[in-house]
């Protein structure tokens, strides 16, 4: 079930790396209860030749 949808542009992380940087929308940060210094985990799943990426806040030990 889709709850909401956001689009963000990827930008270079810096001039040296091939990494890209995206911004976590405020509403997503609020839903995940993400604060400065927290770790967000990307989870990539494949199903029926489609890739799905989800985010979750890393559980604190």
pLDDT of the residue at 33: 94
At 1 the pLDDT is 86
pLDDT exceeding 70 applies to what percent of the chain?
A: 98
pTM above 0.75, yes or no: no
Provide the 10 A C-beta neighbour count for residue 25.
13
Which pLDDT belongs to residue 16?
92
- Give the phi and the psi of residue 60 in degrees, each rounded to 5: -80, 140
Q: How confident is the model at residue 61 (pLDDT cuts 50, 70, 90)?
A: low
Domain residue ranges in the chain: 11-57
- Can you give the C-alpha Rg of the chain in angstroms? 14
Are the beta carbons of 39 and 30 closer than 8 angstroms? Answer: no
Query: Any residues with CB less than 8 A from the CB of 13 and at least 6 apart, and which?
Result: 19, 20, 21
The pLDDT confidence band at residue 32, using thresholds 50, 70 and 90, is: very high
Q: Round to whole Å and give the CA distance between 35 and 57.
A: 10
């Amino acid at each position: 079930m889709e709850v909401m949808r956001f689009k963000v542009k990827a930008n270079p992380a810096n001039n040296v790396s091939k990494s890209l940087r995206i911004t976590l929308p405020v509403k997503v940060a609020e839903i995940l209860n993400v604060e400065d210094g927290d770790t967000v985990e990307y989870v990539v799943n494949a199903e029926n030749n489609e890739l799905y990426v989800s985010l979750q806040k890393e559980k604190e030990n």
